[in-house]
Amino acid sequence: MTTDPLAALRDSYLSAQLAGNRREALRLLVEEGVLRGIPVPSLHLDVIQPAQQEIGRLWQENHISVAQEHLATAISQLALSYLYRHLPRDPANGRTVLLSCVEGELHELGARMASDFLEMAGFEVRFLGANVPTEHLVREVRESKPDLLALSVTMSYHVPALRKAVAAVRELAPGLPMAVGGLAFTWAPGLEAELGVPFYGKDARALVAAACKMFEV
Ligand code: B12
């Protein structure tokens, strides 16, 4: 039995996910989390993110089915929506971030979490979600003129799509700062340097720290 309250909450949340119990998962986050003073960002990074990683391990090792993984992930999607209205927000800092998964990339929960963190820090966020075709990403950059473009990649086989997106956006807007991140970077250390994108973060908190430093906000 763990005595770490966050680890205990993560275990209970994971159990609720595996049981497919949406009401219990939300109750835990609110009653055992928010109302007990656990900061919302900690619920994201210390409860939901590691629970999702554990779901991935259980799926990979064949302990749970694809259907159970989908059930669990749908609960985390619901949890993010629910927590969205509890996000503590800094005053608007006047900067807009466009955040998108690259073409083909279906893992969007992490990018969504990163969007919520940027909003907490006062950024205006345009979150495009999963699988955005490169030409439409470029069009959106042209039309919405963000201050920062953040691209998310999970699968290594989507790194070519990332390269394509970075090159296409550079052609259109050579001065636009870009950030890259997502699980693929844990399997390709140094990729950000190779892409010439110095702006990288291993999780949502690191992305926000780097963005705030760059814009001095
Ligand atoms: C849920 C899930 C799915 C869902 C995604 C649903 C959704 N709406 O997002 C679905 C069912 C679509 C899916 C599909 C697949 N998946 Co999947 N999936 C997962 C799982 C279990 C959880 C992902 C998640 O929610 N993580 C939690 C979030 C919060 O963390 P995160 O994504 O890392 O994001 C954080 C950081 O990376 C960072 N970040 C993210 N974006 C950005 C951007 C910037 C700019 C910055 C700075 C930071 C940043 O901040 C985030 C918050 O802190 C993972 C397991 C895992 N370890 O993550 C497997 C996992 C990623 N999947 C895996 C696989 C194999 C697949 C499939 C190939 C399965 C298949 N055979 O079809 C497909 C590929 C789909 C595709 N074309 O993209 C493997 C990948 C293994 C590998 N080495 O390549 C994993 C690791 C499972 C495993 N084996 O353990 N999957």
Q: Are residues 120 and 205 in the same domain?
A: yes
Residue 182 · residue 158 · CB < 8 Å? no
Distance CA 74, CA 61 (A): 20
Q: Could you tell me if residue 55 is inside a domain?
A: yes
Q: Are residues 71 and 9 in the same domain?
A: yes
Q: Could you tell me if residue 170 is inside a domain?
A: yes
pLDDT of residue 183: 95
Indicate whether 199 pLDDT > 90. no
Residue 163 CB-density burial (10 A; 0-12 exposed, 13-18 middle, 19+ buried): middle
Q: Are residues 209 and 118 in the same domain?
A: yes
Give the chain's domain count: 2
Residue of the CA atom closest to atom 82 of ligand 1 = 155
For the stretch 29-63, pLDDT in tens is 999 999 999 999 999 999 999 999 999 999 999 99
Distance CA 197, CA 159 (A): 13
Confidence of residue 2 (pLDDT cuts 50, 70, 90): low
What CATH code is carried by the domain that includes residue 76? 1.10.1240.10
Residue 126 · residue 97 · CB < 8 Å? yes
Confidence of residue 187 (pLDDT cuts 50, 70, 90): confident
Q: What is the CA radius of gyration of the chain?
A: 18
Residue of the CA atom closest to atom 75 of ligand 1 = 106
For the stretch 123-172, pLDDT in tens is 999 999 999 999 999 999 999 999 999 999 999 999 999 999 999 999 99
- Mean pLDDT of all residues in 67-92: 96
Q: Are residues 55 and 133 in the same domain?
A: no
What CATH code is carried by the domain that includes residue 106? 3.40.50.280
Of the candidates 37, 62, 84, which is a domain's last residue?
84
Q: Could you tell me if residue 90 is inside a domain?
A: no
Q: Are residues 50 and 117 in the same domain?
A: no
Q: Are residues 100 and 74 in the same domain?
A: no
Contacts (Cβ under 8 Å, ≥6 apart) of 215: 93, 95, 147, 148
pLDDT of residue 196: 87
Q: Are residues 149 and 171 in the same domain?
A: yes
Q: Are residues 101 and 66 in the same domain?
A: no
Indicate whether 3 pLDDT > 80. no
* Residue 125 belongs to domain spanning: 96-215
The mean of the pLDDT values for the chain is 95
CA of 111 to the centre of ligand 1 (A): 10
Indicate whether 195 pLDDT > 60. yes
pLDDT of residue 42: 97
- Mean pLDDT of all residues in 5-19: 97
Pocket perturbation via mutation, ligand 1, pick of 69, 149, 154, 162 by most ligand atoms within 8 A of CB:
154
Indicate whether 1 pLDDT > 60. no
Pocket perturbation via mutation, ligand 1, pick of 80, 83, 183 by most ligand atoms within 8 A of CB:
183
CA of 187 to the centre of ligand 1 (A): 13
Residue of the CA atom closest to atom 72 of ligand 1 = 66
Atom of ligand 1 nearest to the CA of 73: 1
Mapped to the 3 state alphabet, what secondary structure does the chain carry? CCCCHHHHHHHHHHHHHHHCCHHHHHHHHHHHHHHHCCCHHHHHHHHHHHHHHHHHHHHHCCCCCHHHHHHHHHHHHHHHHHHHCCCCCCCCCCCEEEEEECCCCCCCHHHHHHHHHHHHCCCEEEEEECCCCHHHHHHHHHHHCCCEEEEECCCHHHHHHHHHHHHHHHHHCCCCCEEEECCHHHHCCCHHHHHCCCEEECCHHHHHHHHHHHHCC
Q: List ligand 1's pocket residues with C-beta within 6 A.
A: 45, 49, 52-53, 55-57, 59-60, 69, 73, 104-111, 113-114, 150-152, 154-156, 179-183, 200-201, 203-204, 207
CA of 89 to the centre of ligand 1 (A): 27
Of the candidates 84, 106, 140, which is a domain's last residue?
84
